[in-house]
Amino acid sequence: MTGLALVGAVAVLAGPANAGLGVAPLKQELNVKPGETAKFCISIINKMRGQEDTAQSARLEIMDFEATEDGGLVFREPSAGPTSASAWIALGKSEVTLGPGKDERIECTVKVPYSAAGEYYSAVMVTLGRKSRTETGVGLSLRIASGVFITVVGQTFPRQAKIEKCEFVWPPIASLSDLPKEGQPVWPEATVVLKNAGRSRFEGFGTLELIDANGRPLFRKPLLSKRPLVFGGDSRLFKCTVDKALPAGEYKARVTFDYQSQWAKAYSVAPLTISADQAAMLALRVRGAAPSKAASAQATLRISPDKLTAKVAAGGNRSLGLSVRNTGQDLLRCTATLVNEEDASIPDGWIAPAAKSFVLERLQSASLPMAVRIPPEATGIHKALLVVEAVGPDGTTTQTKVPVELTVAELR
Amino acid sequence: MLDARNQGWIGRQQAPALGPPPNGPSQTVREACLGILGCLLILAGPCLHAWALAEWTQPNYSVTVAAPLIKTGDVQSGSAVLTLNHDGPVTIQVAAASSGSEVLNSSTHDTLTTSYKLTGPALSNPDSEWVPSATFVSPATSYSIQSIGPASQLTLWARAQTAAARANDSGNYTASLVLTASW
C-alpha cells in the first residue's frame, strides 16, 4: 500500500467565527486561617461578537500544577502532593453553558485543614467544551487555567534563595566577519539558576554585572525569566544576553537577586574571561546592531494618568488602571513595583497589579489594571509610588514614578 | 476570618479611561473588545475580577495539511492561526490530548513522522525550526507571551512526513493536542 495520507487545503475547521470563551481571573490569592473556609470566584465569559454567535460550553475541574525550571507549567490530576490544595477546593459547578453576551460567576469554596501551614497551590482548569471536528490533521482542544494560591495564615516561613548556577554560552566564532545564520544566537548569553530554598514563594528580580580587573562595572543588565515567580523548593532559569562591546580580559560576573526578602539578597560572583576573539566578535556585532541601539536610546515609556487617586470604603474593593505606551522603536521590558513612602504607606496586599513584569512591543500601548482591596479595619490616607521601570534592548533603563493615593472611608 | 485577596469588585467606579489612541483599526477593535469584557466583569457583581483574563476567540481549532502524501519520504505541512485575548503575561503549554496522540496516526495504527512549531510576534520564544512531536508536548517546552495584550496571534504549524523506507498505510491520519493558556 502506498501512503495516501492527509488531504485537504490548509484550513481552520473551527466552529462559528469568533465564538470562544474567556476566563478571569488568571490567578488569585487567598489568605485563610487553619480550619476556616473561604470563598472565591471564577468568571466565564461568552463575549457577544455578532449575530451568528452561539452558546458555548466549558468544563471545569481542579488540577495540581508544578513549574518547570524554565518557567513552564505542568498540569496534573489532583494528588496529595505537599503543596496541593486540590483536596480542599470545591467548585460550585463543573459544567457551564453560556449564551452569547452572557457570563457566569462560579463560586468556589476552599476549606483549609487545621493542620495546614504555609503555601498551597492548585488550578481551576476550564476546558472549552466543543471538541475539534477534524477528520484529518491535528485537532486542537483549548483550555485556560486559573491559578489559586492559598496562604495559610499563622505560621510564616522566611523567604530563602540561593544562586545555583551562573554560566555563559558564547556563539560559535567560525569567522569573525560572518554574521550568524538565522536561528543561531547573535550574542553570548548568561544563564543563571535561582533556587528557592525555603517554603514561601517569591518573585526573583536579578541583575548581571560584569566588573573588570580594576573593579569597574562595565556591563549591567536585568536577568529575565519566563516566570519570575519561584515556588518553594523550585529552581528557575533566568537569562540575559551580553550585547555590549567589552575589552578582552578577566572579569567578575556578579549576580544579584532581589527575592522579596526584607533581610537579604542573593549574590554570587564568578570569574569570567573574555578572550581576544570573543571581544572582537562582540565589537563587530555591536557595530552591526548600532542603528537599532540608537533608536532604543530614544525609547520612552508614556504613562497616563500621572497620578492615581481613589476613595475606597474600608473593607471595599475597586479597580485602578494605568495606560502604558512604548513610544520607541524597540521592545521594552517593564516592571511595575509599588514602593512605599516613609509615612502613611500602602500596606502589602492592598494593591495588586495584574502584571508585575511585562513586555511592550515597539509603539505598543496597553493597560495595566490593578486590584485594590482594603481591609475592614483600615482608615486614613495611604500613599505610595508605583515605579514602572523600562529596560531597552541595550540595557538602557528609564523609570517613571506614579504617585498613588488611597483615601479609606469608614463604613457607615 | 478570611482574607481573599483580589476577590471581589464591590466598588462601583470603573478604572480610569485608559490609553492613548491605538495604532490602527484592528487594534481599536481588539482593545474595544477587551474594554467591553472588562466592563462586563466590573459590573457583574462582587466576585468578579476586571483584570487578568484570557480568552480564546474560537472554541477549538484544527490544522489540516496542504496536500496528499503520495510517496515515501513525502513531507507536507499546514498551519492555523489562533487568537488569544489577554490583559497580562500568559504562558502557553502544549500537551497531547491522550497518550501518544501528538503523533499523526491512522485507523490502522500506522504513524507519520510528526513535528510542530508555534510562532507569533507576541511569543518571547517562538520556534524557528520544526520541533519533534515528543519534544513539542514535553513539559519542558512552554511558550511565553510577556506582553499585556490586548490580543496575540499565534500560528500552530504541523508537518507530516511519510516513512523513508516503507509505504505507509493509505487513509486519513489524525492527531490531537491540547493548548493551555495560563497565568
User: With an 8 Å Cβ cutoff, is A411 touching chain B?
Assistant: no
- Nearest CB to B175; choose among A36, A138, A310: A138
CB contact under 8 A, B61 and A357: no
- Nearest CB to A318; choose among B13, B18, B72: B13
Q: Given this model, what pLDDT does residue B8 score?
A: 30
Q: How far is CA B140 from CA A66, B40, B158, in A?
A: 11, 36, 19
**Res. A121: pLDDT tops 70:** yes
**Res. A293: pLDDT tops 70:** no
* B83 lies in the same domain as B112: yes
- Nearest CB to A145; choose among B65, B163, B182: B182
Average pLDDT over residues B57-83: 83
CB contact under 8 A, B57 and A18: yes
The CA distance from A8 to the nearest CA of chain B, in Å, is 6
Q: Given this model, what pLDDT does residue A192 score?
A: 96
Q: Confirm whether A11 is domain-assigned.
A: no
* A279 lies in the same domain as A334: no
Mean residue pLDDT of chain A comes to: 83
Q: What is the CATH number of the domain that holds B137?
A: 2.60.40.1090
**Res. B17: pLDDT tops 60:** no
Q: Given this model, what pLDDT does residue A326 score?
A: 83
User: With an 8 Å Cβ cutoff, is A55 touching chain B?
Assistant: no
Last residue of a domain, one of A131, A152, A173: A152
**Res. A103: pLDDT tops 60:** yes
Enumerate the β-bridge partners of residue A400.
A388
Domain hosting residue A71, numbered range:
22-152
CB contact under 8 A, A21 and B60: no
Enumerate the β-bridge partners of residue A162.
A195
**Res. B141: pLDDT tops 60:** yes
Q: Confirm whether A206 is domain-assigned.
A: yes
**Res. A322: pLDDT tops 70:** yes
Matching residue, cell 476570618? B1
**Res. B2: pLDDT tops 90:** no
Contacts of A406 (CB under 8 A, 6+ apart): A309, A310, A311, A312, A346, A350, A351, A372, A374, A381, A382, A383
Average pLDDT over residues B6-29: 35
- Nearest CB to A316; choose among B4, B10, B90: B10
CB contact under 8 A, A140 and B48: no
* B32 lies in the same domain as B96: no
* A140 lies in the same domain as A199: no
Name which of B41, B51, B147 to mutate to probe chain A: the one with the most chain A Cβ atoms within 10 A of its Cβ: B51
* B34 lies in the same domain as B67: no
The CA distance from A382 to the nearest CA of chain B, in Å, is 18
* A181 lies in the same domain as A126: no
Q: Given this model, what pLDDT does residue A113 score?
A: 95
User: With an 8 Å Cβ cutoff, is A131 touching chain B?
Assistant: yes
* B167 lies in the same domain as B104: yes
Query: In the structure, what pLDDT confidence band is assigned to residue A59 with cuts at 50, 70 and 90?
Result: very high
Q: Given this model, what pLDDT does residue B69 score?
A: 77
Average pLDDT over residues A305-333: 81
Q: Give CA A245 to chain center in angstroms.
A: 30
**Res. A171: pLDDT tops 50:** yes
CB contact under 8 A, B66 and A10: yes
Instruction: Quote the ipTM score.
Output: 0.76
Query: In the structure, what pLDDT confidence band is assigned to residue A294 with cuts at 50, 70 and 90?
Result: very low
CB contact under 8 A, A139 and B176: yes
* B45 lies in the same domain as B67: no
CB contact under 8 A, A45 and B37: yes
Query: In the structure, what pLDDT confidence band is assigned to residue A37 with cuts at 50, 70 and 90?
Result: very high
- Nearest CB to B2; choose among A38, A75, A365: A38
Q: What is the CATH number of the domain that holds A140?
A: 2.60.40.10
Query: In the structure, what pLDDT confidence band is assigned to residue A96 with cuts at 50, 70 and 90?
Result: very high
Residues of chain A with C-beta less than 8 angstroms from the C-beta of B156: 138, 140
* B12 lies in the same domain as B84: no
* A261 lies in the same domain as A283: yes
Considering only A33-42, A146-155, A253-262, B68-77, which range has the smallest mean pLDDT? B68-77
Considering only A254-263, A331-340, B73-82, B154-163, which range has the smallest mean pLDDT? A331-340
Instruction: Give how many domains chain A has, as a whole number.
Output: 3
The CA distance from A324 to the nearest CA of chain B, in Å, is 7
The pLDDT tens digits for A352-396 are 877 777 878 777 777 787 888 888 888 888 888 888 888 877 667
Query: In the structure, what pLDDT confidence band is assigned to residue A45 with cuts at 50, 70 and 90?
Result: very high
**Res. A301: pLDDT tops 50:** yes
Q: Confirm whether A15 is domain-assigned.
A: no
**Res. B39: pLDDT tops 50:** no
Q: How far is CA B64 from CA A76, B77, B131, in A?
A: 29, 8, 17
Q: Confirm whether A237 is domain-assigned.
A: yes
Domain hosting residue B11, numbered range:
1-51
CB contact under 8 A, B174 and A49: no
